[in-house]
């Protein structure tokens, strides 16, 4: 394989062993070897059906059929090689082809495992794991998404038959958006209002069969596809409407909440325990943010090394566009974010697993904190990934706009996340409200929260800190100094917000006004008036958590992978500098920095860009994304960009479908436009007093 000379030179200049970074990314040499072996099983040279290079030319129906063919073959590979469930999930991700089956394996099976009793799991889990039943997670309705408490679908207990009756009482109660619902799933976990003897017990989970023999919808079930989307179109997002559909009482997921045959309801240990699937979904988005952003940056950085544009000042040779400072700023900002997300992804996964273990023992003490942290981090990570993907696309110039670059597919796929698994603004507000509540408890000396919010302690001392006007560069970039800077900013904003809310609502911590409902209403109205401020506090807190986890992770890197530390440290330093410079007004307001510091920060930023330029190719190559997964003419490992672009356009059906050089559209209409015959058709219709129309081309 001939490799582009500029890529070869860039790889030779990398300052660290790329193999060591790969082992760090995949958590050890054994896992790296496992990933490589799994990747070899799905190489398109061995498995032509898994070749993704023509998928951009397929329509929705063709993409869905191809996806099902791919999954069928992957399941055969899984069986042939006796792959574990974990290996299977890795295989799906390594292929890079988003599948309805992945939603079954993650959301559906994950909900069964998290919310079913042991007796229920013994019955249903083997069926789900062997794909005898294929399921989806059905929550969002046409009228309500993030506001789960307002979902309208009902599940009423019928004592006489020991059944639940599911019903969609209104048009807006119709389930709308669930992935793999429209064509793939024959079962679903449905979130619905539990009704017993006309009493509403809130939202609970129910296992519902959707399709029967021949995969046909069962009586009382209306189901279909919601149509084309911005991206993600090989996933069959659907709608679902119930007309008094009966299911056995034992199909309610009863690990925590229970309903007896006599209609007696047993409450869960925590009111929000039913939302654990959502928390898991948000944790998954956070943990994969680094991966998907790194894939897009791999394309853009490789192309930026290969692409030349603009003559150098001292010769007729052209610049590699990677050497333009603004190109570096855009791409390396994304690269810094990606590695920052990596550390926080590991943190949130650990916290989520810890919470699951606690819940198994009936301990829900971590639930509220995990919900608050995962909500805000999901929102910020999704926001920043989308922003950096768009930056990467623009850095590829006109070629980035082409689907052949691979970037539009990633960008439109990821564009769902600011609104799926919880709309970002709602999530920021949830995190902000939790921060406010915790801050008030700290002020009252009653705070007993978790580790992450313990950074609120000593808030009054933190607020008086500020940098000297003559501070040195090494002091600004010291890890503890960076952490304190973002901590100071979020606590300052939180303290000001808390004071503003007190003034707006006329409620004080020690107010014993007996009219609690009136006080609560005033407080809610005050929060509504300060919504922007609450969101800003939440974002500031999440930036702090991202940086904190990154520096804590770097300490392990320094001990276990010292050769990687300088390069990864430069990325985290750049992340910090970019946060401060992009939001410098807030740091001025807090008094932590003054206007004299901005030039120093900018100089630090420029120096970091030069450092990262040397290692950029190694920082993306280490992920070892296959060409088949990236599905990009621009991001090939060998750098043969222009040959691949030409090869792929020759595959376009529009270039293949022609009659001796005459392409589709010419005989249908273009011929008449060029010849002027379209005017004759108007004249003829007027002479004959006929209505004139043009027949639509058949699809």
- And the tokens for 24? 């760090």
Any binding-site annotation on 140?
yes
CB neighbour list of residue 441: distance below 8 Å, 6 or more residues apart: 447, 448, 449
Measured between alpha carbons, how far is 138 from 204 in angstroms, rounded to an integer? 12
Give the residue among 631, 3, 670 at the shortest CA–CA distance from 305. Answer: 3
Pairing of strands 662-663, 658-659: antiparallel
Give the residue among 209, 193, 210 at the shortest CA–CA distance from 157. Answer: 193
- Exposure string of 525-534, with b = 16+ CB inside 10 Å and e = fewer, is ebbeebeebb
Any binding-site annotation on 114?
no
How many angstroms separate the Cα of 486 from the Cα of each of 50, 209, 430?
A: 46, 50, 20
Tell me the DSSP string of 288-352.
HHHHHHHHHHHHHHHHHHH-EEEE-TTSSSEEEGGGSHHHHHHHHHHHHHHHHHHHHHHHHHHHH
Give the three-state DSSP class for 461: helix
Name the helix (H) or strand (E) containing 373: helix 367-395
Backbone angles phi, psi at 465, to 5 degrees: -80, 150
Give the residue among 297, 334, 332, 295 at the shortest CA–CA distance from 610. Answer: 332
CB neighbour list of residue 678: distance below 8 Å, 6 or more residues apart: 669, 672
Which amino acids are annotated catalytic? 421
Give the three-state DSSP class for 496: helix
Segment 394-401 long-range contacts (CB within 8 Å, at least 24 positions apart): 394/330, 395/300, 395/304, 395/321, 395/327, 395/330, 395/331, 396/299, 396/300, 396/303, 396/304, 396/307, 396/634, 397/307, 397/309, 399/303, 399/634, 399/645, 400/300, 400/634
Measured between alpha carbons, how far is 417 from 405 in angstroms, rounded to an integer? 21
Say if CB 283 and CB 349 are below 8 A apart: yes
How many degrees, rounded to 5, is the angle at CA 377 between CA 372 and CA 381? Answer: 160
Measured between alpha carbons, how far is 181 from 241 in angstroms, rounded to an integer? 12
- Side-chain half-sphere CA neighbours of 238 within 13 A: 24
Backbone angles phi, psi at 218, to 5 degrees: -75, 160
Tell me the DSSP string of 664-697.
TTIIIIIHHHHHTHHHHHHHHHHHTT-----PPP
Annotated binding site: 140, 179
Task: Write out the binding residues for FAD.
Answer: 140, 179
């Amino acid at each position: 394989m001939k490799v582009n000379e500029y890529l070869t030179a860039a790889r030779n200049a990398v300052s660290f062993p790329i193999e060591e970074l790969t082992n760090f990314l995949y958590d050890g040499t054994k896992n790296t070897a496992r990933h490589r072996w799994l990747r070899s099983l799905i190489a398109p040279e061995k498995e032509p059906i898994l070749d993704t290079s023509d998928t951009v030319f397929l329509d929705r129906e063709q993409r869905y059929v191809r996806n099902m063919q791919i999954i069928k073959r992957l399941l055969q590979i899984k069986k042939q090689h006796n792959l574990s469930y974990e290996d299977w999930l890795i295989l799906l991700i390594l292929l890079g082809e988003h599948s309805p089956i992945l939603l079954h394996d993650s959301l559906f099976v994950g909900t069964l495992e998290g919310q079913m009793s042991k007796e229920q799991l013994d019955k249903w889990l083997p069926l789900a794991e062997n794909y005898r039943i294929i399921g989806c997670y059905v929550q969002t309705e046409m009228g309500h998404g993030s506001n789960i408490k307002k979902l309208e679908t009902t599940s009423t207990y019928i004592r006489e038959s020991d059944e639940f009756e599911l019903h969609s009482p209104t048009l807006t109660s119709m389930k709308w958006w669930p992935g793999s619902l429209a064509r793939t799933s024959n079962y679903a976990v449905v979130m619905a209002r539990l009704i017993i003897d006309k009493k509403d017990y809130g939202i609970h989970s129910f296992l519902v069969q959707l399709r029967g023999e021949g995969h046909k919808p069962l009586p009382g079930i209306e189901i279909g596809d919601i149509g084309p989307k911005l991206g993600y179109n090989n996933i069959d997002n659907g709608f679902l409407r119930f007309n008094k559909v009966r299911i056995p009482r034992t199909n309610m997921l009863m690990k925590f909440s229970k309903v007896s045959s006599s209609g007696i309801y047993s409450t869960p240990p925590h009111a929000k325990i039913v939302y654990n699937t959502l928390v898991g979904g948000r944790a998954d988005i956070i943990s994969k943010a680094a991966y998907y952003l790194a894939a897009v940056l791999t394309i853009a950085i490789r192309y930026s090394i290969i692409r030349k544009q603009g003559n150098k000042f001292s010769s007729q040779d052209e610049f590699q566009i990677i050497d333009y400072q603004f190109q570096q700023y855009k791409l390396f900002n994304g690269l810094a974010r990606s590695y920052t997300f990596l550390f926080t992804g590991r943190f949130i996964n650990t916290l989520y697993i810890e919470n699951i273990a606690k819940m198994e023992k009936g301990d829900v003490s971590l639930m509220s904190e995990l919900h608050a942290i995962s909500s805000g981090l999901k929102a910020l990570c999704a926001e920043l990934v989308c922003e950096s993907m768009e930056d990467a696309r623009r850095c590829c110039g006109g070629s980035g706009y082409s689907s052949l670059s691979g970037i539009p597919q990633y960008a439109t796929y990821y564009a769902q996340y600011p609104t799926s698994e919880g709309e970002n603004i709602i999530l920021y507000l949830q995190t902000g409200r939790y921060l406010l509540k915790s801050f008030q408890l700290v002020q009252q000396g009653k705070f007993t929260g978790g580790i992450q919010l313990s950074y609120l302690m000593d808030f009054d001392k933190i607020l008086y800190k500020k940098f000297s006007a003559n501070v040195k560069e090494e002091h600004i970039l010291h890890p503890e100094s960076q952490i304190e800077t973002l901590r100071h900013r979020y606590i300052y904003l939180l303290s000001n917000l808390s004071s503003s809310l007190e003034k707006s609502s006329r409620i004080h911590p020690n107010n014993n006004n007996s009219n609690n409902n009136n006080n609560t209403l005033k407080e809610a109205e005050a929060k509504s008036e300060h919504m922007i401020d609450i969101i800003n506090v939440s974002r500031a807190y999440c930036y702090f958590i991202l940086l904190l986890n990154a520096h804590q992770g770097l300490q392990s890197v320094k001990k276990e992978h010292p050769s990687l530390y300088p390069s990864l440290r430069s990325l985290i330093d750049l992340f910090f500098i970019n946060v401060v410079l992009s939001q410098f007004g807030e740091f001025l307001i807090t008094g932590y920095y003054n206007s004299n510091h901005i030039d120093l920060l900018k100089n630090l930023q420029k120096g970091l860009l030069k450092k990262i330029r040397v290692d950029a190719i190694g920082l993306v190559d280490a992920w070892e994304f296959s060409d088949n997964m990236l599905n990009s003419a621009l991001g090939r490992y060998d750098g043969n960009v222009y040959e691949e672009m030409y090869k792929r356009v020759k595959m376009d059906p529009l270039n293949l479908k022609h009659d001796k050089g005459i392409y589709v559209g010419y005989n249908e209409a273009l011929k008449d436009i060029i010849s002027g015959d379209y005017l004759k058709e108007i004249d003829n219709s007027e002479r004959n007093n006929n209505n004139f129309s043009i027949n639509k081309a058949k699809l």
